[in-house]
Structure 1
Amino acid sequence: MDLKNTFGVLVDELRKKNPVIHAITNYVTAESCADVALAAGASPVMADEPEEVAQITAGADVLVLNLGTLNYTKQIAMERSAEVAKAKGIPVILDPVGVMTSNIRLDFALKLLNKGYISIVRGNHSECAALLDGKTGGRGVDNLTEGTEEGEALKTAKDAAAKFGCVFAVTGAIDNISNGKQAVVLNNGHPLLQDITGSGCMTTMLVAACAAVTKDMLVAAALGVVIMGQSAELAANLLEKKDGPGMFKVRLLDCVYHVTTKWNLVNLKPEEKVS
C-alpha cells in the first residue's frame, strides 16, 4: 500500500467534499474539536438532544461518539444516532474517554461495540486495553500506560480490533492502528500534545473527517492520526523560546490547515505490518 500517495488523494477529497461530522462530544473540548474539523476542511455539527439526533445523523457523513462528559441523556442520544448510522452505512468513530476509570463508561462503550455500531475506536493505550479486557482500574482520564513493552500497544490494537470487528487506533508516543489483520505503526507527533486539553479528542475528529472520504477504515484512522502528528511537529517547530503549551495549541490549529492544504510537503514514513 502506497500510503503517502493514498493519503494525498484522500486529503484532497476531504477538502473538496467538506464532509459533515455529527459529533456528540464533551463540553470540555467541544470548541477545539469544532475548530480542528473546520481547519481540516470538514463541517462539524454538535447536536446531543435525543429528540433531534437521529435526523442530524441521517444528514451527516460520519458520526463521532465521545464519552468525555457522559450522562444518561447523552447515552440515549448516542444510541439513537448509532442506530441510524448503522442503518445508513455511516461510519461511527468512538472516543472511549476514561473507560478504564468508570464502570458506566466502560459498560456503555462495550454495549456500543458489541452491537456492531462502531467503525473505528480512537483511544489511548489504557482506554483500549480496558475495552479489550473488560476491566476498569485507574484514576482520571489520562493515559496510565503507554504499552511500553515492545509490541504491547500493537498487540492491544490488533487483539481489540479482531475481538470487536472494527479498527482500533491506539495513540500515544507511538501510534498503533489495526483492523485485526493489518497494522500501521506511526512515529509522528510531539510531547507537547500531552500538555494541552483535547489533543486526543481533536485527533478523533480528524479520524472522523478521513472516514467520511474512504471506505477503508484502517486508512482513515491512520490518515487522521498522521495529520495530527505532522501538525504537532510543525507547530512545535514554529514556537519561540518564550512560547509554551498555549501558543502550541494555537499553532496546532494553523498547522492542521497547512498540512491538509500542502500535503506534498509532509514528511511521512509509516511502518506497515501485516500479520
Structure 2
Amino acid sequence: MINKATLIADLLNIKHKIRLASPLIHCLTNPISINDCANIVLASGAKPIMAEHPAEVAQITAAAAALAVNLGNVTDARLGSMLISGKVAHEKSIPSIIDLVGIACSDFRLEFAQKFIAACQPNVLKGNLSELKALAGLSNNACGIDVGSSDTLSPDTITMLQTLARKNKAVIIASGPTDIITDGTTTFLGNNGTAELTNITGTGCMLNVLTAACIFSQNIFNGCLLSITILGISGELAAENSTGPGTFRAALLDAVYNMTDEEFANRMKLKKA
C-alpha cells in the first residue's frame, strides 16, 4: 500500500519546483504538434526551446535541464539531431525521454529507436502499448500510430513492461485509458483522463514534453507519475469546460496553467499495480 498523502506531497513538491526553477526544456518534436508542445511546457512553468538544426543542438541540449525527443513525422535532419542531443544528455546526465511514435507501424522508426536507446540510454521510454510491444520484439496490432484495439492492459502486459524497463534501465510510460508507469520494480496505474484527449492531435506529444519538464530535477519515477496525472486531470477539467475539440484544446492548456494543489490532490487517481 502507498501512503497517498505522502505521494501527493512528493508530486506537488516537484510541481512547485518547476514553477520556481523555470527549467529550460529542449524539445525535438514534430511540426504537427510543436506549437502545442511549446505551450504546454510554458503552462507547466518551464521554458521550451524547439531547436533542431544539427549544427546547434549539442550546445542547446548541454544548456538545458531536460531533453524530449519524438519520432513523429521524422526527417533525416531531425533524426541526426536527436542522436546528437541524446548523446550529450547522456554524457552530461541531463534527464531525457523518447516518445516512440509509430515504431509499431514503421520498421525504419523501430530501428532508429533501438539505435537511439542503445547509444543515448534515455531515462524514460514513452509509447502506447502497441509501440512498447514492438520495442520488446513482440507482435502487436497497431493501427498506424494508434494503439491496436487488442493491445490492452493485462497482467502479462505489466510483466512485459517491467521486463522492458529493467532491460533498458529506464522508466516506461505506457499511455492509454489506464496509464502504466514502471521502472521494472515499482509499477503504478494512472486512471485520470478523458476520451476527449484523443479528439485533438498531439496530446501524446504534449505528454512527452511535459514529462521532460517534470523529470528535470532528476526524480525520474515521480516525475513520470506527475506528468501523466497533470495531463489526465487537465483533460478532465477541460472536458467539463468546453463544447468541442477547439475549445477543449484551449481549455487543456488553461487547466495545466491554472491547476491548484487542491484540484490535483482531490482528483489524482494513482495506484500501485
Does the pair score TM above 0.5? yes
Structure 2: gaps spanning 5 or more residues: none
2:33 to 3, 23, 29: 29
CA separation in 1, counterparts of 2:152 and 2:76?
35
Structure 1 residue ranges without an equivalent (≥5): none
Give the Å deviation of 1:149: 5.0
Amino acid of the residue matched to residue 80 of structure 1?
I
**TM-score, normalised relative to structure 2:** 0.93
Deviation at 1:142, TM superposition (A): 1.4
* Residue 58 of structure 2: aligned partner: 54
Instruction: Supply the RMSD in Å over aligned alpha carbons.
Output: 1.6
Structure 1 pair 153/137, CA: closer, same or farther in 2 (3 Å)? closer
Alignment of 1:151-230 (within 5 A): 151-213=155-217, 215-230=218-233
The answer as to whether partners of 1:106 and 1:134 remain within 8 angstroms in 2 is: no
Which residue of 121, 125, 134 maps to 2:125? 121
Q: CA deviation at 1:138?
A: 4.2
Question: What's the counterpart of residue 63 of structure 1?
Answer: 67
In structure 2, what is the Cα distance between the partners aligned to 1:148 and 1:63?
29
1-side partners of 2:216 and 2:176: how far apart? 24
| Contact 2:173 2:179 (C-alpha < 8 Å) held by counterparts | yes
Cα deviations by residue, 1:150-192 (Å, 9 ceiling, x for unpaired): 3344233212111211010001000000001111111000001
Q: Could you state the TM-score of these two structures normalised by the residue count of structure 1?
A: 0.92
What is the CA–CA distance in structure 1 between the aligned matches of 2:186 and 2:128, rounded to whole Å? 19
1:84-108, Cα deviation, whole Å (9 max, x unpaired): 1111110111001100111110001
**Counterpart position of 2:241:** 238
SS in 2 for 1:115: helix
SS in 1 for 2:32: coil
Distance 2:250 2:222 in 1: 27
CA contact (8 A) 1:169 1:177 kept: yes
- Give, in whole Å, the separation in 2 of the partners of 1:59 and 1:71: 24
SS of the aligned residue for 1:100 comes to coil
Given the superposition, is the C-alpha separation of residues 223 and 146 from structure 1 closer, same or farther in structure 2, using an over 3 Å criterion? farther
- Once residues 211 and 21 of structure 2 are traced to their aligned partners in structure 1, the CA distance between those partners, rounded to angstroms, is 15
Letter in 1 for 2:180: N
Q: Secondary structure at the match of 1:133?
A: coil
Is 107-116 or 55-64 further displaced after alignment? 107-116
The structure 1 segments of at least 4 consecutive aligned residues displaced by more than 3 Å after TM superposition are 134-139
CA contact (8 A) 2:69 2:98 kept: yes
Q: Kindly tell me: are residues 89 and 163 of structure 1, through their superposed partners in 2, closer, same or farther at Cα, counting changes over 3 Å?
A: same
Contact kept in structure 1, 2:130 and 2:140, CA below 8 Å? no
Say yes or no: does 1:264 pair with 2:262.
Answer: yes
Query: 2:128 & 2:263 partners in 1: Cα distance?
Result: 28
CA contact under 8 A between 2:130 and 2:141: conserved in structure 1?
no
Partner Cα separation in structure 2 for residue 73 and residue 152 of structure 1: 38
CA contact (8 A) 1:50 1:80 kept: yes
Quote the Cα distance in structure 1 between the aligned partners of 2:142 and 2:224.
26
